[in-house]
Each structure stands twice: as structure tokens, then as C-alpha cells.
Amino acid sequence: MKTTNLKNTLKIFLFASIFISTPQIYSAQTTVQTTPANTSKIWGKVDGIAIEGMVQGPSTEIAPLQIACVFEYTEGDIFNSPPALPAAVNGMVHLDESLKGLITDLRKSGKFAGHSLETLLITPPSGTIGAKKLLLIGLGDRNKFTPELMQQVASVGMEEALRLGVTKYGFATDLKDAGIDSPTAEVAGYGVTGAINAYRTQLYLKDKKMSSFKPIEKITLLAGPAFFTTAGEGITKAIGALNK
């Protein structure tokens, strides 16, 4: 391989996401448009809920509730690179390290197996991560993952957010950290659609006097610098369809 190509390849890895829901494979010739860390944008609103995109990782996002997703445990799955992102740019590794290895311990011991749609709520000590509460949602067997699952995951996340009484929360799928390939825009769109559909179900029940909750004001979907724009395209498309 030519030296120039090797440098381009290294640049791609260095600019990969701290978190993103959709890893992709690039050749050494591919130019990746990156967005600076901490960039945020409200892509639109649905039912009064602002849908925000942000270039941020789940360990540093400041929110009353942060949602992060993990697969069923396989030895070293978030640390072995490739396919996982290098530790320096791996949001799940940062989250695990901020909690002193708690997530790995929970998964490796089987206390949290990460089965599809399994949930575990954690109240981290003050100063460890940006969020006051962390909700882990399982993605099941990594070899059986499909983008459509993210719609169900996002639905569960919304239901838990309403149950906890928060008015805003962050959502990180962490697929790229785990080395899983899936379409960025599609996964981001499913994240919006699943959350809003779950919210509308609760609005229906509230209208029937069978549910009570604080309205959600904002959902922040975390994205890596190389995928912020593409994720935004999927989010915008989902918002448009939901607002029809």
C-alpha cells in the first residue's frame, strides 16, 4: 500500500465517531466529511418534541437520562479493533471506563445479558458521566441484528423515559463502537419513528384518562463526526413522514 493511502486510512479511523449507530467500510480513497465535536442541530419537531442531533459520546452527554445500547456479550467485543472502533474513539469504551468497568462486568458476568430489548437502569455516582441516569438496552445477538430492531429499541427507550418522568433524554445506539455495519440514515430514522410511535400511544392512553406523564420536550440522537450529516438526513426524512 502506498504511504499516502495508509495516511488516508488512518485519518478515517481517527475521525470515526465517538458514537454512531451505523458503521461503514471505506476504501483508502474515500473522503469523509466530518463535523466538529459538540456540534448540535434541531432537525425538526414532531408532536412538540424537538429532535436534536449532536456530535457527542454517551459518557459526556449532559442529560437527565442517557440511553446506550449493547449486544449480548462476546469476549472483548467492544475492545478488539477491528471490527470495534479503536479505544481512543470508541464511545462505549469511554462509557465503560468512566464507570470503572461496570458495563463490561455486568455483561461478562451475565447480570445484564443484553438480550434483545432487555433493559437495565443505572444511577451513576455524581461526576462519573454527564447523565444523571443511564439506561442500557439490549440488542441481542450481533449476528442477527437488523436496522428495523432500532425502531423497537427506540420505542422501549421512550417508554422508560416517560416512566422515569424526564422531559428530555439522549439516545446512542453504539453500533459502530461494536463494529456492526448498518445504514446510517435508516437506523437514525428508525430511532425517531420508534420513539414517536411509542409517545403517540401514550398520548392516546392519556386522552382516555389511562396514562399520566410529563411531556417530552427533546430527544437528542448522538452521532459521530463522520456521520452527523448522514444521520440528519434519515432523521429529517422520518420527521417529515411523521408530520404528514
pLDDT digits (tens, 9 = 90+) for 214-226: 999 999 999 878 8
Nearest to 222 by CA among 183, 176, 178: 176
**Residue 208 CB contacts under 8 Å (≥ 6 apart), including other chains:** none
C-alpha cell at 53: 442531533
**Residue 230 CB contacts under 8 Å (≥ 6 apart), including other chains:** 22, 184, 185, 188
Q: What is the pLDDT of residue 81?
A: 85
Q: What is the pLDDT of residue 13?
A: 32
Q: What is the pLDDT of residue 144?
A: 95
**Per residue in 104-137, pLDDT tens?**
999 999 999 999 999 999 999 999 999 999 999 9
What does R_g of the chain's alpha carbons equal in angstroms?
17
Which pTM value belongs to this model?
Answer: 0.85
Q: What is the pLDDT of residue 25?
A: 33
What is the number of alpha carbons within 13 Å of residue 119 lying toward its C-beta? 16
If one compares 97 and 24, the residue with the highest pLDDT of the two is: 97
Q: What is the pLDDT of residue 133?
A: 98
Q: What is the rounded CA–CA span in Å between residue 208 and residue 53?
A: 33
Query: Is pLDDT above 80 for 28?
Result: no
The answer to whether the beta carbons of residues 198 and 159 sit under 8 Å apart is: yes
Beta strands in the chain (DSSP E): 40-46, 49-55, 65-70, 119-122, 133-138, 168-172, 218-223
Q: How distant, in Å, are the alpha carbons of 3, 55, 121, 189, 191 from that of 222? A: 33, 6, 19, 13, 11
